[in-house]
């Protein structure tokens, strides 16, 4: 994928520091942090379709997984436990 360059000038030096700190906390570059923030805003404004990246979980998938977790806690284990599968595998 070819990268595009864009320059951003901020009116406030404090905001620039906050952006750098936020990017560092997420162990990402300032460019990637700003790009993701812009992308999120474009999706929110319906100017761009949501992009799903490998290794990332969308909000919809995260909500589904949370529902499944609550359900499994409510009704108990589903199917065979992992420990039982390991024991069965060792017997073979």
Question: Cα 42 to chain center, whole Å?
Answer: 17
Q: What is the pLDDT of residue 43?
A: 85
Structure tokens at 81: 């436990």
Class of the domain covering 1-51: mainly alpha
Tens digits of per-residue pLDDT, 25-78? Answer: 999 999 999 999 998 888 888 888 777 666 666 777 788 888 888 888 888 766
pLDDT of residue 85: 80
Sequence-distant (6+) residues with CB within 8 A of 16 are 10
Helices (H), 3-57: 13-25, 30-44
The rounded distance, in Å, linking the Cα atoms of 34 and 22 is: 10
> With b meaning 16 or more CB within 10 Å and e meaning fewer, what string describes 69-84?
eeeeeeeeeeeeeeee
Q: Which pair of tokens denotes residue 29?
A: 């570059």
Where in the chain are the domains? 1-51, 55-92
Which pTM does this prediction carry? 0.53
Q: Are 84 and 90 in contact (CB under 8 A)?
A: no
């Amino acid at each position: 994928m070819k990268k595009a360059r864009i320059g951003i000038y901020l009116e406030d030096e404090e905001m620039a520091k906050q952006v750098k700190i936020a990017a560092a906390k997420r162990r990402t570059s300032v460019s990637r942090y700003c790009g993701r923030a812009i992308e999120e805003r474009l999706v929110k404004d319906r100017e761009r379709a949501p992009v799903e990246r490998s290794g990332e979980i969308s909000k919809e998938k995260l909500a589904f997984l949370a529902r499944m977790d609550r359900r499994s806690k409510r009704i108990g284990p589903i199917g065979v436990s992992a420990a039982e599968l390991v024991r069965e595998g060792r017997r073979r």
